Amino acid sequence: MKFSSILRYAFLGIFNAGSVYLIPLIITFESWFLLSVLIFIMFLINFTYLTDKFAALKWITPGVIFMFSFVVFPAAYNTYVSFTNWSTGHILTKTQAIDLLEARTYTPEDQRGVEFDIYIFEDDNQEYYFGADLNENEFLFGKAVSQDLIKEATFARHEPSLKNSSGEIVPPEGFKLLLGKDQINLANKLQELSLVIDTSTRAQLYKISVFGSSTGRLLSTSQRYSYDSDNDILYDNSTNATCSSDGDNFLCNGESVDPGWRVFVGSENYKKLFSNQRIRGPLELVTKWTFQFATLTVFLAFSVGLLLSITLNKEKLKFKRLYRALYILPYAIPAFVSVLVWKGLLNPDYGVINTWLDPFYTFFDIEPIKWLKTKESARAAVLLVNTWLGFPYMFLITTGALQSIPKELTEAAKVDGATGVQSFWRITFPLLMVSISPLLIGSFAFNFNNFTLIFLLSGGGPPVIGSEVAVGWTDILISFSYRLAISGGRGNLFGLASSVTIIIFGIVLLISALSFRYTKRLERIYGNI
C-alpha cells in the first residue's frame, strides 16, 4: 500500500473515532438535530475520501461543510428566530420554564428568616437522615426524603439524646455523622432532600458548611407551583391561585409569571414592523437614510479613488510609488482605530477639525459646526469618515483596472480626434465599469450593513426628537435593529430585531440581483471591444 493511502486511512480512522465518540455525548444532550448533522457529515466525509468516484467532491466537501455551518445555518436560524417571540422573559423552552417553576419552593410568611443547624447522618444503607437543631427544646431527627416522597414521609421526631450536655452531636447506633468534605461531595444529592416536620413544614439544607454543621431553613412541604399537563394549568400553592397559559406565559390573577417560554408566532413580528406606527415611522426614516448612506458612500469613495488613480496613472509622475503607498494607508489601518480617531478629531468643542476651521468661522462670522450633534453635521461626518475609509479600496481596484485597459484604445481615439475628456467618458470609463461594477455592488451591500462605522462614530445619534422609539438620525437599518434588539419595552426583542435583519437581507438581495443583471448588459455591450 502506498504511504499516502496509509495516511488517508489513518486520518479517516481518527476522524471516525472522534465522531463515534461524540455520538453518545450528543445523545446525552438530547440534541437530535446535531446528531443527524454529525451522522450526515460522517457519511459525507467517508464517502468522499474512501471512493475515488467523485474527485471534485474531495476538494469542495470541507468548504461546503464550513459554508453550511458558518453561513447557511446562522442565516436559517436567524430566519427561524424572526418567527418566534424570542425576547426577555421568553428565552427558554416551555419544558424548561415549567421545570424551573416547579422547582420553586416557598416559606410561609411567619417562618421566614428562621435559620438553624442541620446535621447529616448516614446509615449503613447509604440512606441519609437529618438532625435539625431548631431550638433548645427541639432537636428533630428523621429520614431525609426526596421531593416526590414528602407526602408519604413520617414526621421527624424530637431526639434530645443526639446532642449531649456539652453540645456535641452523638450519632445514634448504626449512623455516621457526615462532616466537611463528606457532605460536600454529596451536596447535589443532599440538596434535593428534606426533613418533613409536619404536614405543612419541612426543613431543607440551604448552606453546606466546610467546617462544622450546615445550615437549614424551613419551607412549605408543597412546592410553590405545580403543573397540570393535561389541562395546561399551573397552580400557585402559596396563594391557591389557578394560572392559565396565555400562549407564552402563565397568568396568575392577571399577572404573568416569569419565566415565560418561546413559541412560534408566525408572521407576528413582521406585522408589528409594518402595522405598528410606533415602529413603522422610524423604520421608514431609517430605510431612507440607509439607502442614501450606502449610495453616497459608494459614490463618494469611488469618485475620490478614481480621481486619484487617474492622476497617479500618469506616466511621467515622479515618486508614484510613494504616493500610492501613502494613499493605501487609510486602508491598512483598522477601521476600529481610525473611526475612533476621527471621532476625537470631530469633537465640536475640542476637536482638531473645529480648531482648524476656527479662523474660517470667525472670518465669515458663522456658528461653529456642531459635528455629530445635529442631523446634517452628523450625516456629513458619517459620510466624510466613510469616504476616508473607503477611497483607498476604490483607488486600489481602479488602479488595477486602469492598467489592464489597453493603451491602443485611447491612442486610437486620439488619432480619430477625440479629446482627452471624450476618450475617458466614452472608452476608459465604460471599460472600467465592466470590471469594477460587481465590486461597487459588493461595496454597496457592505456599507448597507456598516454597523461598525455607525456604532463607533455616532452611535446612531443624534436622537430624532419626537420619535416614539429611540432612533437616531444616522441610524442605519442594522444599527436600528440592534437598538430594537437590546432596548425594547422590556429588555431584548430578539425576534423583532431578527425580522428587521431578514428585511435587510431581502433588500440587499434584490439590489444585488438587479445590479448584476445591469452589469451583464454592460458586459454584452462593451465586452467585445
Which CB sits closer to another protein, 97 or 434? Answer: 97
Residue in this structure with the C-alpha cell 466525509, named with its chain if needed: 45
Distance between CA atoms of 528 and 13, rounded to whole angstroms? 54
Residue selected from 165, 188, 240, 275 as contacting another protein according to rule CB under 8 A: 188
Residue selected from 52, 110, 124, 136 as contacting another protein according to rule CB under 8 A: 124
Distance between CA atoms of 343 and 382, rounded to whole angstroms? 10
247: left (phi over 0), alpha (psi -120 to 50) or beta: left
Assess 209 for contact with another protein (CB under 8 A).
yes
Smallest distance from another protein to CB 207, Å: 5
Assess 40 for contact with another protein (CB under 8 A).
no
Smallest distance from another protein to CB 455, Å: 9
Q: What is the x/- site pattern for another protein, positions 63-92, by CB under 8 A?
A: --x----------------------xxxxx
Which CB sits closer to another protein, 189 or 524? Answer: 189
Find the binding residues for another protein in span 395-454 (CB under 8 A). Answer: none
Which CB sits closer to another protein, 15 or 388? Answer: 15
245: left (phi over 0), alpha (psi -120 to 50) or beta: beta
Q: In what order do the strands lie in the sheet with 250-252?
A: 225-228, 233-236, 241-245, 250-252, 255-257
Closest CA relative to residue 388, chosen from 439, 341, 421, 325: 341
Which CB sits closer to another protein, 184 or 418? Answer: 184
Element (H, E) at 396: helix 375-404
Residue selected from 56, 168, 466, 517 as contacting another protein according to rule CB under 8 A: 466
Residue 389, all three cell numbers: 475609509
Which CB sits closer to another protein, 382 or 508? Answer: 382
Q: Which residues, at least 6 apart from 365, have a Cβ–Cβ distance to it below 8 Å?
A: none
Residue in this structure with the C-alpha cell 436622537, named with its chain if needed: 463
Eight-state DSSP code of residue 476: -
Which CB sits closer to another protein, 185 or 244? Answer: 185
Which CB sits closer to another protein, 338 or 398? Answer: 338
Q: What is the x/- site pattern for another protein, positions 493-522, by CB under 8 A?
A: x-----------------------------
Torsion sign (Cα): 271, 273, 274, 275:
positive
Distance between CA atoms of 77 and 249, rounded to whole angstroms? 23
Which CB sits closer to another protein, 210 or 510? Answer: 210
Q: Pinpoint the alpha helices (H) of 348-472.
A: 352-364, 375-404, 407-415, 420-423, 429-448, 451-457
Closest CA relative to residue 247, chosen from 362, 101, 85: 85
Element (H, E) at 24: helix 3-29
Which CB sits closer to another protein, 343 or 413? Answer: 343
Which CB sits closer to another protein, 490 or 517? Answer: 490
Smallest distance from another protein to CB 515, Å: 29
Assess 369 for contact with another protein (CB under 8 A).
no
Residue in this structure with the C-alpha cell 469618485, named with its chain if needed: 303
Which CB sits closer to another protein, 126 or 166? Answer: 126
Q: What is the 3-state secondary structure (H, E, C) of 245-265?
A: ECCCCEEECCEEECCCECCEC
Smallest distance from another protein to CB 520, Å: 34
Distance between CA atoms of 75 and 120, rounded to whole angstroms? 53
Assess 226 for contact with another protein (CB under 8 A).
no
Distance between CA atoms of 334 and 319, rounded to whole angstroms? 26
Smallest distance from another protein to CB 469, Å: 7
SS3 category, 93: coil
- Contact between 399 and 313 under an 8 Å Cβ cutoff? The reply is yes
Backbone angles phi, psi at 307, to 5 degrees: -55, -45
Assess 460 for contact with another protein (CB under 8 A).
yes
Assess 467 for contact with another protein (CB under 8 A).
yes
Assess 489 for contact with another protein (CB under 8 A).
yes
Smallest distance from another protein to CB 298, Å: 24
Residue selected from 36, 43, 62, 280 as contacting another protein according to rule CB under 8 A: 62
Distance between CA atoms of 281 and 269, rounded to whole angstroms? 16
- C-alpha distances in Å from residue 402, one per residue of 427, 469, 501: 11, 48, 37
Find the binding residues for another protein in span 308-367 (CB under 8 A). Answer: 343-344, 347, 349-350
Smallest distance from another protein to CB 168, Å: 21
Residue in this structure with the C-alpha cell 404536614, named with its chain if needed: 199
Smallest distance from another protein to CB 242, Å: 20
Which CB sits closer to another protein, 11 or 516? Answer: 11
Beta-bridge partner residues of 227: 234
Assess 368 for contact with another protein (CB under 8 A).
no
Find the binding residues for another protein in span 3-22 (CB under 8 A). Answer: 4, 7-8, 11-12, 14-15, 18-19, 21-22
Assess 286 for contact with another protein (CB under 8 A).
no
Which stretch in 278-286, 313-321, 355-363, 397-405 sits in contact with another protein by CB under 8 A? 278-286
Smallest distance from another protein to CB 490, Å: 4
Residue selected from 57, 159, 169, 281 as contacting another protein according to rule CB under 8 A: 281
> Quick one: how far is CA 383 from the chain centroid?
28
Q: How many residues bind another protein (CB under 8 A)?
A: 92
